[in-house]
Structure 1
Amino acid sequence: TNSPELVGKTTAFLGHKEPIVFSNHFLRLRTNGRRLDPQYLARWLTKQWQLRVFEKYCTQWVNQATVRKEDLLSLEIPLPPLDEQRRIAAILSRADRLRRLRRTALELSDGYLQSVFLEMFGDPVSNPMGWKRTRVAKLVKVQTGNTPSRAESENYGNFIEWIKSDNINTPSHFLTQATEFLSEKGKSVGRTAPMGSTLITCIAGSFDCIGNAAYADREVAFNQQINALTAKSGVNSWFLYALVIFSKKHIQSASTNSMKGMVSKGKMEGIQFISPPEKIQLEFEKVFSRYREGRDKQDTSMSMLNDGFSSISQRAFSVGL
């Protein structure tokens, strides 16, 4: 593979009604059925991958990474009796199934939000409901971030988060916590967005990342790869955020670079968005609020399932279940 992080990723192949072929990027392992259950092996290898065991065995060259068969076969696996292996594999499979079901529920809830938006406002690009179209500059304040001089170390500290595009590429609707902070002096020369702003990736090495967006639930500073949209009077901040995430392709069409992607502040301000009456926007905010409450509970449940699965798999291959 071209990524060391993916080396060692494993699945159990349980058969198919037609012959299957595989590329030279894969290694097939067949177990001695009298000593080792294949699903137990797959679960154990997956645990080693999650622990990043394979990365230290990686041989790398230009755009490639691999683990030698000899290194893989040298690993030592806990080997309880065959019946116990099958029991452990079955327990882990049931726990993993619960995680997959919860993940599917999360995906469906995201689809529900888009369905509600389309029902209330129609497609924001084709505008089948005939809403008034308005330039972004009239609806919001657009601001491009910056990088305070690193030559002045006192610009950096722990006063305010300094958001980068990684904090926007998130399954959550909210910005993740920044890994780097500005000082109070850094904030004074940086660019900040108030709580309620929508932050959008507008410069990226990958075109697909252009238009990624997240909601700011606190005041933040941000770098030059990001444009912040702060709603003006008559525009609801949650409607604005939803409008942005469901208009990603529309935003990408304003990019001046088809390979990497860049939407300048001027281009962003020139994009036309639908602008339905504020009363309807507020109705959507109520729906969004109920959705977020339900989503928070689902996220908590997902986190608990992940923690539980991690604990079970750790015990399974150490002290036993």
Structure 2
Amino acid sequence: MSKWENRQWCEVLEIINGKSQKNVLDEDGSYPYGSGGIMGYANDYICEERTVIIGRKGNINKPIFVEKKFWNVDTAFGLKAKKNLLEPKFLYYFCVNYDFEKLNTTVTIPSLTKANLLKVIIPLPPLEVQKKIAQTLDAAAEVIALRKKQLTELDHLIKATFYDMFGDPEQNPHGWIDKPLEDISDIISGVTKGRKLAAQNLVVVPYMRVENVQDGHLVLNEVKKIEVLPDDVIKYRLSSGDLLMTEGGDPDKLGRCAIWNGEVENCIHQNHIFRVRIEKNVALPIFICFLTGSQYGKKYFLRAAKQTTGIATINSRQLKKFPVLLPPLHLQNQFAEIVTKIRSHESDRGM
């Protein structure tokens, strides 16, 4: 290729099916296994070095690049580039920026098919240009990783403050009472995507997806829009102070929580996200957010979740039963003030 050309994936790569890791599990194994990340180790591998791994089911928009041999589980595909045509790292960055949701074949747990993936079009420059682009993006990724590390350090400071003020929730050293989350909040699931709507008076509004809701924060670099009924906007419109919690998929998405502060006007949420509206005379959203994100919260959701190979999900009933410890409101307010000061420090540093 002497210039940029559009090529189908079927021309430039091979898709490798994943398999259950059940028979190759080995704590001392040499090969990591997983889908959207490393879940453990195995004594065998499926994919060679420098392969792109994408989710087949559940987490379909979180590609990873593996430098070493890797066992992709049965909820993931391996993308093996034909290296005379396609630089693997160039493919990875293409996948990072590609919206696989538009290939989703279901309205429940997001899923991809090999047949649809093989039709994906990738614009390709000459191989040497692909390598240079990949190197440039690698350098940019290092800068981004450094920034994330700085933010993580501040996040650790907040978490340490949480444990210092409230103790370990698993031990509940102060003997605070607990109440089911449903007793102190209003909880609803969001609008279902892919519905057939015959009405003529539909409206288009922004909505929050699972990808927007990370552990303790929102990522709003890409906010998509959806066509819904006017009544849906009224029912699902987010208000400042709402908690957004993910129902699951890959285990890292289970019960993930972030606070909505009105960042996008007239925004609603999809059905894989629960909206939790806290009674603020009883508890503060920031306290609940860190409580659900603690080991206490994560262990509860893992115990309560319905689990299949590589997939874990909770329903609204399980979320509503989450036992919320209730320290005095004035103590929660002190914690909120400390969090605000620390996060203002992030802004001062241009983070």
The two structures have a TM-score, normalised by structure 1, of 0.61
Contact 2:180 2:322 in 1 (8 A): yes
Q: CA separation of 1:95/1:24 partners in 2, compared to 1, >3 Å: closer, same or farther?
A: closer
Tell me the equivalent position of 1:207.
251
Pair 1:249 & 2:299 matched: yes
Q: Distance in 2 between matches of 1:175 and 1:104?
A: 16
Tell me the equivalent position of 2:111.
none
Contact 1:198 1:230 in 2 (8 A): yes
1:3 to partner: Cα distance: 8.1
Tell me the equivalent position of 2:278.
231
The one-letter code matched in structure 2 to 1:266 is R
Q: Could you give the per-residue CA deviations for residues 217-238 of structure 1, whole angstroms, max 9, x where no partner exists?
A: 1263222222111111221122
1:282 to partner: Cα distance: 0.4
The one-letter code matched in structure 2 to 1:241 is C
1:187 to partner: Cα distance: 2.8
Contact 2:207 2:225 in 1 (8 A): yes
Tell me the equivalent position of 1:270.
321
The one-letter code matched in structure 2 to 1:201 is T
Contact 1:145 1:191 in 2 (8 A): yes
Pair 1:217 & 2:261 matched: yes
User: What's the RMSD between the two structures over aligned residues?
Assistant: 3.7
1:171 to partner: Cα distance: 6.4
Q: CA separation of 1:64/1:245 partners in 2, compared to 1, >3 Å: closer, same or farther?
A: closer
Tell me the equivalent position of 2:196.
150
Q: CA separation of 1:157/1:134 partners in 2, compared to 1, >3 Å: closer, same or farther?
A: same
Tell me the equivalent position of 2:336.
285
Identity, % of aligned positions? 18
The one-letter code matched in structure 2 to 1:185 is P
Contact 1:144 1:227 in 2 (8 A): yes
Pair 1:197 & 2:242 matched: yes
The aligned runs of 1:130-149 (5 Å cut-off) are: 130-147=175-192, 149=195
Q: CA separation of 1:95/1:194 partners in 2, compared to 1, >3 Å: closer, same or farther?
A: closer
Q: Distance in 1 between matches of 2:207 and 2:303?
A: 28
1:114 to partner: Cα distance: 0.6
Q: Distance in 2 between matches of 1:93 and 1:146?
A: 37
Tell me the equivalent position of 1:65.
79
Select the structure that is richer in strand.
2
Q: CA separation of 1:121/1:293 partners in 2, compared to 1, >3 Å: closer, same or farther?
A: same
1:66 to partner: Cα distance: 2.6
Unaligned runs of 5+ in 2: 1-12, 17-45, 51-75, 88-125
The one-letter code matched in structure 1 to 2:288 is L
- After TM superposition, the structure 1 stretch with the greater mean CA deviation from structure 2, 129-138 or 289-298, is 289-298
Q: CA separation of 1:276/1:253 partners in 2, compared to 1, >3 Å: closer, same or farther?
A: same
Q: Which has the higher contact order (CA 8 A, sep 6+)?
A: 1
Q: Distance in 1 between matches of 2:269 and 2:314?
A: 16
The one-letter code matched in structure 2 to 1:288 is V
- Of 156, 162, 185 in structure 1, the residue corresponding to residue 230 of structure 2 is 185
- Of 72, 75, 94 in structure 1, the residue corresponding to residue 127 of structure 2 is 75
Q: Distance in 2 between matches of 1:293 and 1:251?
A: 31
| Structure number with larger C-alpha Rg | 1
Count of residues in Structure 1 that have an aligned counterpart in Structure 2: 235
1:77 to partner: Cα distance: 6.5
Q: Could you give the per-residue CA deviations for residues 47-76 of structure 1, whole angstroms, max 9, x where no partner exists?
A: xxxxxxxxxxxxxxx933233343469734
Tell me the equivalent position of 1:313.
none
Q: Could you give the per-residue CA deviations for residues 234-261 of structure 1, whole angstroms, max 9, x where no partner exists?
A: 2112222222222233223221335422
The one-letter code matched in structure 1 to 2:80 is T
Q: CA separation of 1:280/1:3 partners in 2, compared to 1, >3 Å: closer, same or farther?
A: farther
Unaligned runs of 5+ in 1: 5-22, 28-61, 79-88, 302-321
Partner SS state of residue 306, structure 2: coil
Q: Could you give the per-residue CA deviations for residues 96-121 of structure 1, whole angstroms, max 9, x where no partner exists?
A: 87665443222211111110111111
Q: CA separation of 1:174/1:24 partners in 2, compared to 1, >3 Å: closer, same or farther?
A: closer
- Of 155, 167, 171 in structure 2, the residue corresponding to residue 122 of structure 1 is 167
The two structures have a TM-score, normalised by structure 2, of 0.56
